[in-house]
Amino acid sequence: MSQIYASFKSIGAYVPEKVLSNADLEKMVDTTDEWIVKRTGISERRIAAEDEYTSDMAAKACELAIERSGVAKEDIDLVVCATVTPDYFNMPSTACLISDKLGIRDVQAFDISAACSGFVYLLSVAKAFVESGMKKNVLVVGAEKFSSIVDYTDRGTCILFGDGAGAAMICATTNKEEAFVDLHASADGSYADFLVTPAPGCVNPVSQRVIDEGLQYVQMKGNETFKLAVKTLTKDVKEILEKNEINSDDIPHFIPHQANYRIIKAVGDSLKMKEEQVVLTVGKYGNTSAASIPMAINDIWESGRLKEGELMLLDTFGGGLTWASALLPFAGKSK
């Protein structure tokens, strides 16, 4: 029997209509457009409507990914969602709600929580299911309504995050040329307090104290996270390239997590990447956590830059702390 591999067949994304610009934030907190652009590279981000939820954005991204893959909805046998801003914190999972919105019934569906690393973590889940022969067509989606956990009086965090969703179809193939080359995912819980939403959870169940202290909002040790992100991302990417004997010159698309332009630049420079190799969307979308990488892949696919068979290098870092990198060809059709 021939070997089965996982392949990245298609991409789709959705961004909400409302734009929150740096000029808007200047009216909300003590900050300036100049500070935000210089320190982060972000000019604007998208914010979902009040009644537009993570599952709604995810379903829209999924519809595009499904259509572009040519896979019939009836042939999808697993739906997995990465999010830290689920529609409901405990149950039902956002993946269940997405499946229902897509009309996909009677298939396994579940969420994972790995913050900004969520999408690459999902690729490892999809790869394992496909290559073990358990599933054939896995719909993976990273989606966040991050604005729902941001304190818009905290200038240290509110300038960074945005909302959106990105989805991909991961399909079984016997063609080795289409297969994921390598994937590495890891975590270190000793840094859990670098990025945390203290409530709701069993440590801080919903109470008046939670509301009074604003524990439902994301808290971040920005500067410490920044330094660790640069170090970890650089090491992780160097390792995956060395292990697979690939030179950074041979990567047409380096697609890092879009958290901060300075982090991306530092990692890109240490790998001697040229500007045209590095995908940048942070300026217009900010940090959309688990949605950031698939949104960036969608951006280059829609603009015609990502072609069939081209190699992508993904690299991400987020709360947990978690990090992950992946080397894989785009196995779908060029636009």
Binding stretches for ligand ACO (CB under 6 A)? 31, 35-36, 39-40, 115-116, 155-156, 159, 195, 222-223, 225-226, 229, 259-260, 263, 287, 289, 317-319
Burial of 311 (0-12, 13-18, 19+ CB in 10 A): middle
Active-site option among 22, 260, 287, 298: 287
From CA 164, how far away is CA 33, in angstroms rounded?
Answer: 22
Q: Residue 62 catalytic?
A: no
Active-site option among 116, 137, 171, 253: 116
Residue owning tokens 């010159």: 249
Q: Which is nearer to ligand ACO, 168 or 195 (CB)?
A: 195
Q: Which is nearer to ligand ACO, 32 or 247 (CB)?
A: 32
Position of minimal CB gap to ligand ACO: 318
C-alpha pair distances (Å), 215 with each of 41, 151, 191, 209: 28, 10, 18, 8
From CA 25, how far away is CA 155, in angstroms rounded?
Answer: 9
Q: Which is nearer to ligand ACO, 268 or 332 (CB)?
A: 268
Contact (CB, 8 A) for 43 and 77: no
Q: Which is nearer to ligand ACO, 159 or 167 (CB)?
A: 159
CB of residue 104 to ligand ACO, shortest distance in Å: 28
CB of residue 58 to ligand ACO, shortest distance in Å: 17
CB of residue 100 to ligand ACO, shortest distance in Å: 27
Closest CA to 123 of 331, 295, 328, 264: 328
CB of residue 124 to ligand ACO, shortest distance in Å: 17
Q: Residue 257 catalytic?
A: yes
Q: Residue 22 catalytic?
A: no
Residue owning tokens 């697993």: 78
CB of residue 256 to ligand ACO, shortest distance in Å: 10
Active-site option among 22, 257, 260, 298: 257
Closest CA to 316 of 55, 153, 123: 123
C-alpha pair distances (Å), 74 with each of 44, 87, 160, 254: 38, 25, 38, 33
From CA 183, how far away is CA 243, in angstroms rounded?
Answer: 11
Q: Which is nearer to ligand ACO, 129 or 226 (CB)?
A: 226
Active site residues: 116, 257, 287
